[in-house]
């Protein structure tokens, strides 16, 4: 069984999350992804457990070559790699790849059929082009932090690098679109996205309301601004659940299940607009009933009856959730030393290929000699490059 990208070669100059996350998707679709790192290692290798988590989750099944791109011989190796590539991916600070002679225009002039893909912090055409950009800056400048947190509290970041992770999926989607076009026309393409535009796009419903009304969304904690009850937290005897039941049918059903049929007919709550205006009074009534139940009892009451609800779960609880287990999202892999650990697989499945069979993230320079040999370098030349520090091999 082969993946749909079997035989496709990707050269990945990415670091941290957004670019490696995109090429991880390409790997899981069958591509041969060669990860190019500096001889001292990409930035994720230098920041402790957080960096190790990034490496494990976004670099499975890749091959790794370590190159000094500040050396002419290292650039020559990079050019040889690119010459045999279908797709080139990078997220280095704008201008860096150009300084090596490996920018989009330079590469595509030499190889018109190559797809050259760049993800940046703030885009390649605005005044912030050269700014370093990480997930948190995109969360701040896109409005995400503005609408996240309690109404009377400070702005909050989303509790994980959401923009980076979603940018990886968006980036992969665009790359695949460009590759499909190449299959049809034979022509390469240039792909661009940025953390900033992904972060703005993530907030589509909020932006849609703002563009319609001109009223800026504001922080208000849990609950959606224009519908109720929606994304409202209901504490239980042993935890909490979140409930959304704002349509007429579902609100009536919720009230009936809780033994509160009169609430559905109360003028304060008989329309969605009224419920939004009177949300505090509504939540007081609903929470009083949920406080009598355990989370399991609440879920057993609501979900078989079509009311949307979710148990607010810790990571340990998520890990044991039978629905999560059934997806196969957690996979066991072996690192280069043979030690097994658990990491995340891609969150999708194709019927045409089996569930992921994976090796862990490669060691720095683990495949340097292997890849150079494939490029036609003699063993003596590889030794010379290694001795000179132009390439690095795993130790």
Question: Are 115 and 179 spatial neighbours (Cβ–Cβ below 8 Å)?
Answer: yes
Question: Are 82 and 102 spatial neighbours (Cβ–Cβ below 8 Å)?
Answer: yes
The arithmetic mean of pLDDT across residues 80-93, rounded, is: 97
DSSP state letters, 2-44: --TTTT-EEEE---TTHHHHHHHHHHHTT-EEEEEE-TT--GG
Per the listing, tokens 């993530």 go with 202
Residue 71's alpha-carbon distances to 42, 75, 223, in angstroms, are 17, 6, 55
Distance CA 66, CA 81 (A): 12
Instruction: Provide the pLDDT for residue 358.
Output: 77
Residue 302's alpha-carbon distances to 45, 240, 306, 344, 395, in angstroms, are 46, 14, 7, 30, 56
The arithmetic mean of pLDDT across residues 347-363, rounded, is: 84
Instruction: Provide the pLDDT for residue 132.
Output: 87
Per the listing, tokens 């999926």 go with 169
Q: Among this protein's residues, is 71 annotated catalytic?
A: no
Of 236, 360, 351, the closest CA to residue 299 belongs to 236
- Confidence band of 84 (pLDDT split at 50, 70, 90): very high
Q: Is the pLDDT of residue 1 over 70?
A: no
The radius of gyration of the chain's CA atoms, rounded to the nearest angstrom, is: 25
- Name the DSSP class of 334: E
Q: Is the pLDDT of residue 192 over 70?
A: yes
Q: What is the pTM of this model?
A: 0.93
Q: Please identify which of the residues 164, 270, 296, 335 carries the catalytic annotation.
A: 164
The arithmetic mean of pLDDT across residues 210-232, rounded, is: 94
**How many whole angstroms from its chain centre is CA 6?**
23
Distance CA 62, CA 355 (A): 17
- Confidence band of 357 (pLDDT split at 50, 70, 90): low
How many other C-beta atoms can be found within 10 angstroms of the C-beta atom of residue 157? 16
Segment 282-301, tens digit of pLDDT: 999 999 999 999 999 999 99
Question: Are 83 and 73 spatial neighbours (Cβ–Cβ below 8 Å)?
Answer: no
Distance CA 77, CA 70 (A): 12
Burial string for 257-281 (b: 16+ CB within 10 Å, else e) reads: bbebeebeebeebeebeebbebbee
How many other C-beta atoms can be found within 10 angstroms of the C-beta atom of residue 340? 9
């Amino acid at each position: 069984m082969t993946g749909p990208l079997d035989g496709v070669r990707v050269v990945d100059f990415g670091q941290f999350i957004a670019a490696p996350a995109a090429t991880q998707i390409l790997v899981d679709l069958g591509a041969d992804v060669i990860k190019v790192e500096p001889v001292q290692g990409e930035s994720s290798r230098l920041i402790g457990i957080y960096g190790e988590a990034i490496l494990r989750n976004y670099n499975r099944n890749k091959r790794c070559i370590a190159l000094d791109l500040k050396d002419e011989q290292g650039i020559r190796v990079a050019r040889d790699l690119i010459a045999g590539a279908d797709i080139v991916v990078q997220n280095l600070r704008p201008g860096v790849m150009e300084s090596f002679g490996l920018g989009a225009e330079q590469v595509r002039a030499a190889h018109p059929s190559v797809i050259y893909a760049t993800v940046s912090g703030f885009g390649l055409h605005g005044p912030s082009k050269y700014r370093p950009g990480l997930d948190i800056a995109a969360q701040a400048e896109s409005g995400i932090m503005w609408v996240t947190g309690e109404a009377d509290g400070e702005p909050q970041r989303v509790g994980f690098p959401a923009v980076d992770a979603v940018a990886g999926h968006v980036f992969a989607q665009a790359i695949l679109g460009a590759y499909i076009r190449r299959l049809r026309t034979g022509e390469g393409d240039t792909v661009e996205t940025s953390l900033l535009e992904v972060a703005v796009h993530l907030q589509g419903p909020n932006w849609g309301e703002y563009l319609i009304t001109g009223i800026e969304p504001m922080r208000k904690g849990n609950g959606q601004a224009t519908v109720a009850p929606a994304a409202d937290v209901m504490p239980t005897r042993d935890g909490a659940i979140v409930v959304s039941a704002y349509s007429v049918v579902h609100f009536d059903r919720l009230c009936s299940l809780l033994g509160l049929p009169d609430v559905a007919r109360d003028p304060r709550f008989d329309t969605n607009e009224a419920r939004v205006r009177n949300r505090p009074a509504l939540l007081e009534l609903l929470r009083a009933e949920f406080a009598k139940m355990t989370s399991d009892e609440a879920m057993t009451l609501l979900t078989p009856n079509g009311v949307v609800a979710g148990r607010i779960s810790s990571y340990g609880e998520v890990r044991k959730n039978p629905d999560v287990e059934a997806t196969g999202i957690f996979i066991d892999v072996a690192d280069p030393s043979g030690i097994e650990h658990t990491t995340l697989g891609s969150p999708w499945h194709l019927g045409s290929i089996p569930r992921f069979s994976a090796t862990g993230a490669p060691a720095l320079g683990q495949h340097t000699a292997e890849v150079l040999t494939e490029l036609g370098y003699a063993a003596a030349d590889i030794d010379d490059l290694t001795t000179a520090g132009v390439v690095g091999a795993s130790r």
